[in-house]
Structures are given as C-alpha cells and as structure tokens.
Amino acid sequence: MSFNPFVFMKKFVIMKGVQLKEVPLVDVKDALKEIKRGEPRSLYVLYGTEKYRLQEFVSELINRTVPEENRDLAITKMDTSETAIEQVVEEAETMPFLVERKLILVKDQTIFASGKDKMEHRVDRLLKYMESPLESSILVFLIQADKLDERKKTVKAAKAAGGVLSFLPFGAEELMQWVRKEAEKRSSPMDQEAIQTLLNNAGTNLQTLVVEIEKLSLYAGQGQAINSEMVDQLISRTTEQNVFRLVEDVINGKVDSALSMLYELLKQKEEPIKILALIIRQIRIMLQVKELTGRSFSQQQAASQLGLHPYAVKLAAEQARKHDSKALAKWLSEAADLDYAMKTGRVEKTLGLELLMMKMAAR
C-alpha cells in the first residue's frame, strides 16, 4: 500500500527511558517536497537496491541545497569501510568553510545495515550527534541493501528523526506508471501495450529504461506517441528476454514461433546449455510463484521471498496461471534430465531442446 501523506503512521520512541516521542514517518515524495521548500533534514539514511532512484534523490538534494560553484568546498564523500564513524561525526560537527551549508555523503554497510568490516566504530558518538545535529550540515548515509538492521540503535534513532527513506524496486503497476510518466516528460505518450513491450524487451533496470525511452522519443518525434511496433523495431531483447518469449510461446502451444526463436538464438551463437538453463530458471520461477500465490502471498511478497523484481513475478504468475503445479513440476524434471543428458553427451543438444519444447507445447 502506498503512503498517504494526509494520514501519518506514528512511531513511539522511548527517549532517555522516560518520555515518549511521537514522530511522523515520511516517504520519498514528502522528503523531496521538504527539500524543494528549502527545508532539508540534517540527517538522511537512504537504503535500497534501486540505485537509479536513490541517486536521483541525492542529485536533487545536491541541486537544491548546494550552489554549483560551491560544490567542491561543500560536498564531502566518505565510506565507513575506510573511515571510523567518529571521523564522520567530526566532519559533520565542523562548521562549513566559505559556504552556508555542507553535504556529507557516507557509504555504509555496517552502521545501519548488517554488513561487517574490520573498522572499529564508536557508534555512541553518532548517536549523541543524532540527538542534536547541526543545521549547517546535511549528513547522508547511503546503504545498498534491501533492509536495515532493525536491532541497531542507530536505525531506531534515525527512524525517530524521520530521516529513513527506502529505495526498493517498484511494484509491477508502479513500474508501468513510472515508464508512462517518463515518456510523458518527453512529450511521447505510451499506451499499455507499448509499455509492456518495452519492459518485456528491455527488462526492469531503470537506468536502461530511461535511455531506451529517450531513444524511442527521439525516433517518434516531438509530441508523437510511441507504439509497440516502434519498441519492437528499436529495442533489442536480451537473451533472457528472448528465452522468456520462447517459453511464453511454448506454453501457449505456438511451437513454430518458439522454434524460430530457438534457431535465432543459436544463430547468435548462444550455447544450447545456456538456453536450457534459462528455460529451467523460468519454469522454476513459474512453479515457485504459483506455489507462493497459492499460499496467499501477494506478488510483491513473492518477489521479496524469491529475490526477483515484482514485474518479473507478475509475468511469471500470468504464465503459470495456465498450468497446474504438477505440469510445471513435470516440465522442470524433464528439463533437468535433458540438462544432464546434454552435459554427458547422451543427446545432441539442439535436438534435445527441440524435443523438449515440442513435448511441453503438446501438453
């Protein structure tokens, strides 16, 4: 469920063992609004695996708080794997030189997350600083992890201050809305079919998608819509995306189309064993998604459980819906047997793939 800015979730944090402090949580959109109003926080803890969105936030923070001509003096970059946290705090406590405000960007995997390194950190120095941070310093911790270590006092203190922001992958619908907005920014609207074709061809990496949307927009022309035919014409599919389409054709009984895709992959010098490995991976994902959604997991929860992007889970769920778990398990077993036979030379590789695909389509 997305955050409603008009309904604050409340956190109650024990301060000095006596008082309860009530602090509203904010999301990325609210934090950006604060920054645009000229009211940045003195502490941010940014975590997540979606690097593009996280970096986008940092860029906006820099652009709004530090004039370009002052950035050499005002921006400091540090890393807790190389620098003790007390040195980071000392930097934050030092008044800025010739600039109104300084920005300290700190890479971290140990102070707020569960990573380990050889550096000894006096975390109590940071906790004390977090009680009353300087307004002239903006301290930003950057953590590339899908979660923080909730047991740590630093995480609890950062949440109490309201400065924790997550940058996790979009859900399937959120991703499609994001693509639509990126296309509209360039005055090149995309309909649902074009968006799905783009995601199926290019994958879900946001940096890649931005580049491809820019290319499509230039091709379509100012104010012109981008359609699925343009996407297919301009955006090359990866081997993984081609195999996904191959499996899609197989389970829909489109043997000729699937075989054509197979021969195209072989022409591109893709190894049959690699193609089979990707087929096995896709069938396994379909089976896992079917099992999890059958146990009332949402697609977002299934994605988290399997370590997959929610959009990939959405597509796998749509594929798996057409077959029961027994059929998928049977395909997986036969594909694994073929993998062994191919690697031991008991079957000719291309012939083995052709027979497996025809068997799957026949069912």
Where residue 196 sits, what CATH number does that domain have? 1.10.8.60
Mean pLDDT taken over the chain:
89
Does residue 116 sit in the same domain as residue 30? yes
The answer as to whether 1 is a domain residue is: no
The answer as to whether 2 is a domain residue is: no
**CATH number assigned to the domain comprising residue 291:** 1.20.272.10
Does residue 181 sit in the same domain as residue 226? yes
Does residue 226 sit in the same domain as residue 264? no
Does residue 69 sit in the same domain as residue 92? yes
Domain boundary residue, one of 166, 184, 219: 166
The answer as to whether 339 is a domain residue is: yes
Does residue 153 sit in the same domain as residue 295? no
Tell me what the mean pLDDT of segment 326-343 comes to: 94
Tell me what the mean pLDDT of segment 114-124 comes to: 86
The residue type found at 25 is L
**CATH number assigned to the domain comprising residue 88:** 3.40.50.300
Does residue 177 sit in the same domain as residue 134? no
Does residue 160 sit in the same domain as residue 18? yes
Domain boundary residue, one of 147, 166, 185: 166
Q: Which two tokens stand for residue 340?
A: 């062994």
Lowest mean pLDDT segment, chosen from 22-31, 48-57, 279-288, 327-336: 22-31
Domain boundary residue, one of 151, 166, 181: 166
* Nearest by Cα to 175 from 52, 27, 305: 52
Q: Per the structure, how many domains does the chain have?
A: 3
SS3 16: coil
Does residue 14 sit in the same domain as residue 161? yes
| Residue 304, pLDDT score | 86
Using 50, 70 and 90 to split pLDDT, how confident is the model at 322? confident
Domain residue limits at 90: 10-166
Does residue 354 sit in the same domain as residue 290? yes
